[in-house]
Amino acid sequence: MSSERLIYLPLGGAGEIGMNCYVYGYGAPNAERLIVVDLGVTFPDMDTTPGVDLIFADISWLEARRDRIEAIFITHAHEDHVGAIGHLWGRLRAPVHARAFTAHHARRKMEEQGQDPAKVETASAWPETVQAGPFTVGFLPVSHSIPESSALVIDTPAGRVIHTGDFKIDMAPGVGEPFDRDLWASVAQSGVKALVCDSTNVFSPHEGRSESTLGPEITRFVAEQTGMVVATTFASNVARVKTLAEAGQAAGRSVCLLGRAMRRMIEASVETGVLSDFPSTVTPEEARDIPRESLMLLVTGSQGERRAASAQLARGKYLGLSMDEGDTFLFSSKTIPGNERGVIAIMNQFSEQGVDVQDDDDGRYHVSGHANRPDLEAMHQLVKPQIVVPMHGEHRHLREHVKLAESLGRTGVLAPNGTCVALGGNAPEVVEFVETGRTYLDGRVQIGALDGVVRDRIRMALNGHAMVTLVMDEDDSPLGDPWVDLKGLPERTADGAALSEVLEADLAQLLARAGDKTLTDDDKLDEALRRRTRQVCDTEIGRKPEVTVVVSRLS
């Protein structure tokens, strides 16, 4: 048996849908040469990460082995695959490879974070390959909901791995390459050690539908409307944006793109050659002078994001444009779990404006970009890998995908984030569990998920914050009474008294009775004041706040 090994290690994306970051290694144990696949983000929420701007996989493990990293490969330009490249590249500093459209986005992200965009090299599609140490890597076109998505064909001395990236099996994706079954079969023909495979839609029982099935429905829908039509979808779904724009054009409407991401994606698509025949558009300024029945807006914000064009239109005017009674808003998108409240909020705001809202209506106006269960089966059968490693899914998706693989006679391995699996032998072997986690981009600072910063924010949000200030004189006696400031706490107690006054009186009493042991010891004094503040609040308002005590000693 060879002393070298092929390892797979997910640092993000296996145990969640988001912040994809996968590592492959080949070489002597603990001296493997490494490649990284994808550096994505996930998005914060108020429940668990208030105030956080973006979330990345914790790449400490990689950073500590930076000298062993040969290259970084990006499969496609979705934020959960490329979004962290600018923020994390400085900690890894390896060359980045991606196909043209993806590279275009990666370069912009590098520039925005002050990194050198020339570190991103444009790769050609399979059968061309990139050499990266012991790895030979090819970009194998695959259909998804963004142009130029690619699986990676990763050849190693221990065999061939196919990393699907995000994919669906779509023979007519509208923009970008159709799924090429023959090409995939030819890649698989020589034998595939492992298929590392998208798991997102493993619970969706029906065969996925093609992007091209939406055109007629959307065209009919837009043609039927009499007022202004405003449609939203994921800006990166260039095929959909094109379908929507063509539906507008077919109905004799001028088309206007609203929202930076929407314009940027279309521009990038034209610039990189993936899109050649997009209908002509008008600017927002021009749109203002066009009768509403002759206008169609394509806007960002399908997930109800507060700052996106959709939400701004829901609240009122955006760039001088606004919706009105008789207009129609179309969600050509599905709501990602967790975003329901935001989406429902803008639906109701539109309702208040008298605007009719059409959602995806169980698939008439939206199809998923991921392979459903039968499509996953088809992929397994097509590639015939020895091992199936489910990725890109929550734990329940990975587990179900393993079951699916095994029901088809393959060896599946459940490998959530941090599970280092050796793929080279006859069966996969878990060789190590690596500590993984999340890094928060907080303003301009990267902080660890366990640093306590966000925990304190959540506590202040749930409990409120009481600040107790006290000045002690040179003889360690209180100079005046303690002072209490409250933030996020009711002003009045259940009995109607002023809470800060009740607290101040009670803390003054506590100090009057306190001995020198307490008064001379900052920690004891802090603890006594904090504990009493929490007790009094519990009695008076039924809540124990966070407490900060500041004692200033004159000396």
Residues that bind its own copies (CB under 8 A): 15, 45-47, 50-51, 337-338, 340-341, 344, 347-348, 350-352, 354, 357, 394-396, 399, 442-445, 447, 451, 453-454, 456-458, 460-465, 467, 469, 471, 479-480, 483, 485, 487-494, 541-543, 546, 548, 550, 552, 554
Query: Which is closer to its own copies, CB of 320 or CB of 496?
Result: 496
**Counting Cβ atoms within 10 Å, is residue 374 exposed (0-12), middle (13-18) or buried (19+)?**
middle
Q: Minimum distance from CB of 190 to its own copies (Å)?
A: 35
Residues 229, 248 contacting (CB under 8 angstroms): yes
Q: How many CA atoms lie within 13 A of 252 on its CB side?
A: 9
Instruction: Name all contacts of 128-136 with Cβ < 8 Å and 24+ positions apart.
Output: 129/153, 129/155, 130/71, 130/73, 130/97, 132/33, 132/35, 132/70, 132/71, 132/97, 133/26, 133/33, 133/35, 133/70, 133/71, 134/26, 134/27, 134/33, 135/24, 135/26, 135/33, 135/35, 135/70, 135/71
Integer-rounded Cα radius of gyration of the chain? 28
Query: Which is closer to its own copies, CB of 271 or CB of 451?
Result: 451
Query: Which is closer to its own copies, CB of 193 or CB of 373?
Result: 373
Query: Which is closer to its own copies, CB of 217 or CB of 267?
Result: 217
Q: Minimum distance from CB of 457 to its own copies (Å)?
A: 4
Q: Minimum distance from CB of 310 to its own copies (Å)?
A: 15
Query: Which is closer to its own copies, CB of 134 or CB of 464?
Result: 464
In DSSP notation, 425-485 reads: SSS-EEEEE----EEEEETTEEEETTSSHHHHHHHHHHH-EEEEEEEE-TTS-BSS--EEE
Q: Minimum distance from CB of 401 to its own copies (Å)?
A: 11
| DSSP at 362 | G
Q: Minimum distance from CB of 264 to its own copies (Å)?
A: 22
Query: Which is closer to its own copies, CB of 31 or CB of 497?
Result: 497
Query: Which is closer to its own copies, CB of 285 or CB of 538?
Result: 538
Q: Which residues contact 138 (CB under 8 A, 6 or more apart)?
A: 125, 126, 127, 128, 129, 130, 152, 153, 155
Q: Minimum distance from CB of 136 to its own copies (Å)?
A: 35
Q: Minimum distance from CB of 197 to its own copies (Å)?
A: 17
Query: Which is closer to its own copies, CB of 112 or CB of 285?
Result: 112
* Rounded Cα–Cα distance for residues 55 and 31 (Å): 29
Q: Minimum distance from CB of 391 to its own copies (Å)?
A: 15
